[in-house]
Structure 1
Amino acid sequence: MPEQTRPTPSPTGLERLNAVPADEAQRALLACCGSSRWARRVADHRPYPDLDALLAAADEAAYDLAPGDLAEALSRESLTPLPDGAYSVAHTALSAAHAAYESRFGHVFVICLDDFTPEEALDQVLAGIRSRLANDREEERLLSAEELRRLTRGRISRLVRAYSEVEKWGECQESMHNSDSGPPDSPYASV
């Protein structure tokens, strides 16, 4: 009788993240949050038993970001294009609001849109920028750090999910860096 073999289950995305060398893990994590110190800290505390533990470690590292680390992370955020079908008036309004925000605070506006549909995103971004322009620098630094932390959580979840869906780690790295949205962002935005 032939020997029966069971197929070896593919490793989960978290198992892959836990297993790669530290420099590869740091590069992958930098796509989630642009602070080198944050990425190094999260990578150095591997292995994580589950996604919740990874997210908790990411949160803790985010709460501990020094002002310079936050500035580094915010400097690596990029503008996300408007949704298809957005009116030119919306482009003009968003461009003006963003320019005013960046002039006042010195970095791009970040906001997590995971609680909103794509149709609601533009209104939320415009309302968010307009309301946050009234903040003082310290209040806005705290709000930006919180929005960045929320963005990072979503990006990590998508990163782990993406690593589960590809055969090779390198394929996932390539697909993340070749996506139209930059970091694995959708439905989140830094605008």
Structure 2
Amino acid sequence: MDIEQFNQLPPAEARAAIESCVAIPAWQQQLVAARPFLSVQQALDYADGLSRQWQQTELAQAFSAHPRIGERASGQRAHQQASRSEQAAVLMADSQVRQAIAEGNQAYEARFGRIFLIRAKGRTPQEILEQLRRRLHNDDREELGETLAQLREITLLRLQEVLS
């Protein structure tokens, strides 16, 4: 779909079109309500501005649609299909790297009380593992900031794909 098609959709259909981007209903509603956009870039800029307001509540909502890194998302909803595509390289990594990521996920969840979130698209499994290990040393505030930044990256990449 292009930006003109997105602009012309009824609100419910427009929300459905961007549902795979992030499981935060308020973000979806605000983005749809801000239409029409003159360009994809204008939509991305607006979406980015909205995403910079996210905090713990929105993060918890978003996690409902994100599997652990290295785990295959089940189901056929758009966000599950997007996760499978984005994590394909991790799922195909050698068993040692997959095991190290699984162990890192456990350590991360024990440390921060939530799943490890990272933009997997464009990263190798080894890069993801390195980032996971590095982020285990963050304090809670630093890690919240990094997690929100990663969620923004994922969201904006998905939105760009939807609108291209």
TM-score norm. by structure 2 comes to 0.80
Say which one has the larger Rg: 1
Change beyond 3 A, Cα 1:110–1:19: same
| Structure 2 partner of 1:102 | 109
Pairwise CA RMSD:
1.7
Q: Report which of the two has the higher share of helix.
A: 2
Deviations 1:59-81 (Å, cap 9, x if unpaired)?
A: 01100124211221133212335
Change beyond 3 A, Cα 1:106–1:26: farther
Percent identical: 28
Helix, strand or coil: the match of 2:163?
helix
The 2-side partners of 1:133 and 1:106 are apart by 12
- Runs of 4 or more consecutive aligned structure 1 residues displaced over 4 Å after TM superposition: 113-116
Task: Give the number of equivalent residue pairs.
Answer: 145
Which one-letter code corresponds to 1:131 in the other structure?
R
Helix, strand or coil: the match of 1:112?
coil
| Superposed displacement of residue 114, structure 1 | 5.2
Map of 1:171-190 to 2, 5 A cutoff?
Answer: none
TM-score norm. by structure 1 comes to 0.69
Is 1:146 the counterpart of 2:161? The answer is: no
The 2-side partners of 1:68 and 1:94 are apart by 26
Which one-letter code corresponds to 1:94 in the other structure?
I
Is 1:159 the counterpart of 2:162? The answer is: yes
| Superposed displacement of residue 155, structure 1 | 0.7
| Structure 2 partner of 1:67 | 56
| Structure 1 partner of 2:34 | 45
Which of residues 125, 128, 148 is equivalent to 2:128?
A: 125
Deviations 1:74-125 (Å, cap 9, x if unpaired)?
A: 33212335243x2211121111111211222232222225554xxxx11111
